[in-house]
Structure 1
Amino acid sequence: MESITKNRQSLDTLRAMVARAYGKDQVPSGTAEWVHELGHGWFNVAYRLRLRDGYQAVLKVAPPAGVEVMTYERRAMATELAALSLLAATDVPVPTVDFADSSRELVDADWFVMPYVDAENYGVIRSSLSACEQDKLDAAVGAATRSLNALTGPAFGPLGGPGVATWRQCFLGMVSDVLHDGERRAVELDHAGLRALVAAHADCLDEVTGPRFVAWDLWSSNVLVRDGRIVCVIDHERAFYGDPLIEAGFVATEQPSFGNPTAFVRGYGKAAFTANERARRRLYNLYLTATMVIESAYRGRAGSSQQQWARDRLSEAVAAL
């Protein structure tokens, strides 16, 4: 997808990055056939690289220094690297990191490289699969999400800190940040009304007492599959310590326009939802859909069909509360 946050680089710069990460002997020669931009993401630019010896890697580059991003997206690449380090200890397959550079010497942003995974994007191919195949993979995503959520943190909030002692304080701060982002870009929303609505239902957040690793962005489009199995879960830059119920797979339990959550919930091992859990999930849907509306302005997509779709989902979330 196209976005103003994509920090594209020249071939000469890409060659310099390869040299720094893998050594000068690995720098490809000739034309640009060794590099291919992966266009699926909406935030970082990513390239598939074929090095001189045939090794294939993926290079991710954070947004340019001069492009304004949302509050929770600041230091997103550092968050992803921290997440990958943590998740290496789980049974969920995630990328390894070959090399990371935050020096800003070659480009005006952080970047890192990882091995290329030869697999298909589940979000891209899902509609071409049979109902049985979808069910199996959705359940597998649920099980993987539960494994990630088993990791505990020292406090609620960013993986790298500083965190806070309560989930209520953390989540209300997240809502405040995203609505402030909307006001900064003059996104047409009832910001005061949304703040008041969240505050009126915030008591349900106090039931959450233990910070857990939350991927938050684990949609089917961030799952790579091969032969009917998950082989890699990617894009962990939005991770934090919070309430596992805020995970993407649970969105549709309160908002069917996001799909059918049955297989995911079964794979996760969640038998039923209490009244408190349903109330929390409605709050999380409001936060998610408001974020989706506001981020369109930060991607240069204000007024787009994507933003209108998000506005419709926000209206649903507000009505549910």
Structure 2
Amino acid sequence: MESLTKNRQTPGTLRAMIAQAYGPDQVPDGDAGWWTELGHGWFNVAYRIRLRSAAEVVLKIAPPPHVEVMTYERGAMATELAALRLIREHTDVPVPAVDHADTSRTLCDADWFVMPYIDADNLGMIRDSLTPADRDAFQEALGAATARLNTIRGPAFGPLTGPGLPTWRAAFTTMIESVLSDGERRAVSLGRPYLEIRTLISDNAGCLDEVTEPRFVEWDLWDNNAMVRDGRIVAIIDHERAFWGDPLIEAGFTGTEQPAFGDSRSFIKGYGHPPLTHPERVRRRLYNLYLTLIMAVEIPYRNLGGADHHTWVHARLTEALALLDASGR
């Protein structure tokens, strides 16, 4: 995926990073043939690299500091490193190991880290070639994996790296307000006045008080972030959007309110969640609004997509607003 946030580096810089991470004896020769950019991500740039030993690794580099990102994306690589550590320490959900991380910004202008290459298929890229039964089985597996991730308890609500807030209502309303502020800064049209949207959120925020315990939330666990092989999930990737919050905000529940995001039934079966109560459905509608606001506001920040993408995103935002409008009726 093409995005303004991709922080591409020269082969010389990539070689210096390899030398730092794995030693000079692992630096490949030449300027080509040993690295390939992995193109499916939207935010960080990622390279598949073959070391001199023939072992393959993935190098991820954060966006350059001069590129403006949305508020919730600041410090995303630190969040990913924290998430990977928590997942490996507290669950059996498969994630890549971190071979080396550098936050000194001496070799390039951003944080970076390297991890082993996962020799598997990206579920999002092969989904259309699968049978319905196989797709359902993978969705059940994603639901089960998400449930295990959500067992990790946190110290407060909000960013994994802090600072946290004592209540989920305070944390979530801060999160969604940051997206609205980002949209105002770029004069993004949301189809309705910003003040009206803020009032709608405030009027429905009481349901957030049901959530009293901070849990690890992956949030971005779509098919594109699952690596699969031989009918099973072998790794979950791209953890930079994780936070402490309400498990019901997880991506797999999105389709319960907006079917355009996919059928959630197999995910929920794997997760083991009972039917949603009315307050839970209102919370889920708030979370759908948060997601669709991000999708609309991020377009100018990353220079994303064409007319079809814009149309689809704004249709989902209109749906999310209408659903929240109807929550009190």
Asked if 1:311 corresponds to 2:314, the answer is yes
Alignment of 1:134-213 (within 5 A): 134-189=135-190, 190-213=193-216
DSSP-derived class of the 2:114 partner: strand
The answer to whether the aligner puts 1:74 opposite 2:78 as a matched pair is no
Quick one: distance in 1 between partners of 2:290 and 2:310?
15
Deviation at 1:194, TM superposition (A): 1.2
Instruction: Tell me how far apart the structure 2 counterparts of residues 7 and 171 of structure 1 sit (CA, whole Å).
Output: 30
What amino acid is the match of 2:281?
A: R
1:88 is paired with a residue of what secondary structure?
helix
Q: CA offsets per residue over residues 17-55 of structure 1, 9 Å max, x none?
A: 111111100000034110000000010000000000011
Partners of 2:273 and 2:290 in 1: how far apart? 22
Name 1:42's counterpart in structure 2.
42
- Hey, what does 1:248 align to over in structure 2? 251
Instruction: Look up the SS of the partner of 2:292 in the other structure.
Output: helix
Counterpart CA distance in 1 for 2:297 and 2:69 is 11
Q: Secondary structure at the match of 1:33?
A: coil
Verify the 8 A CA contact 1:83 1:239 in the aligned structure 2: yes
CA distance in structure 2 between the partners assigned to 1:303 and 1:287 by the alignment:
22
* Code of the aligned partner of 1:140: A
Question: Residue by residue, what CA displacement relative to the aligned partner does 1:118-156 show, whole Å, maximum 9, x if unpaired?
Answer: 000001101110011011100000000000000000000
SS, match of residue 320 in structure 1: helix
Secondary structure in 2 aligned to 1:311?
helix
Distance in 2 between residues matched to 1:245 and 1:107, nearest whole Å: 38
Counterpart in the other structure of 1:128: 129
TM-score by length of structure 2 reads 0.96
**Aligned-partner Cα distance in 1 for 2:274–2:266:** 12
Distance in 2, Cα, partners of 1:198 & 1:287 = 10
Instruction: Quote the Cα distance in structure 2 between the aligned partners of 1:57 and 1:174.
Output: 34
Q: Contact 1:292/1:307 (CA < 8 Å) preserved in 2?
A: no
Q: Is the 2:102–2:111 Cα contact (8 Å) retained in structure 1?
A: yes
User: Partner amino acid for 2:20?
Assistant: R
| Contact in 2 for aligned 1:157/1:164 (Cα 8 Å) | yes
CA contact (8 A) 1:296 1:306 kept: no
Structure 1 residue 302: deviation in Å? Answer: 7.2
User: Aligned runs of 1:258-297 on 2, under 5 Å?
Assistant: 258-297=261-300
Counterpart CA distance in 2 for 1:36 and 1:161 is 34
Task: Name the Cα RMSD after superposition.
Answer: 0.9
Match of 1:149, as an amino acid?
N
Amino acid in the other structure paired with 2:174: G
User: Aligned AA for 2:68?
Assistant: E
In the superposition, relative to structure 1, how do residues 23 and 304 fare at CA in structure 2: closer, same or farther (>3 Å)? farther
- The answer for the alignment partner of 2:5 in structure 1 is 5
Percent identity between matched residues is 63
Query: CA separation in 1, counterparts of 2:127 and 2:277?
Result: 31
Which has the higher mean CA deviation after the structures are superposed, 189-198 or 10-19? 189-198
Contact 1:175 1:195 in 2 (8 A): no
Amino acid at match of 1:98: D
Partner of 1:54: 54
Rounded to whole Å, the distance in 2 between the matches of 1:87 and 1:99 is 17
Partner in structure 1 of residue 85 of structure 2: 85
Match of residue 28 from structure 2: 28
Deviation (angstroms), 1:304 = 4.0
Structure 2 CA distance for aligned equivalents of residues 146 and 299 of structure 1: 31
Unaligned residue ranges in structure 2 (runs of 5+): 325-329
Rounded Cα–Cα distance in structure 2 between residues aligned with 1:304 and 1:39:
21
Kindly tell me the number of residue pairs found equivalent between the two proteins. 321
Of 219, 224, 231, the match for 1:221: 224
Give, in angstroms, the shift of residue 2 of structure 1: 0.2
- 2: distance between equivalents of 1:14 and 1:85? 25
In structure 2, relative to structure 1, the CA distance for the partners of 1:105 and 1:304 (3 Å cut) is farther
Equivalent position amino acid for 1:242 in 2: G
Matches of 2:136 and 2:115, distance apart in 1: 30
Which AA in structure 2 matches 1:67? V
1:80 is paired with a residue whose SS is helix
Task: Work out whether residues 123 and 225 of structure 2, in 8 Å CA contact, stay in contact via their aligned partners in 1.
Answer: yes
In the alignment, structure 1 segments of 5+ residues that lack a partner are none
Q: 1:63 — aligned with what? A: 63
- SS in structure 1 opposite 2:33? helix
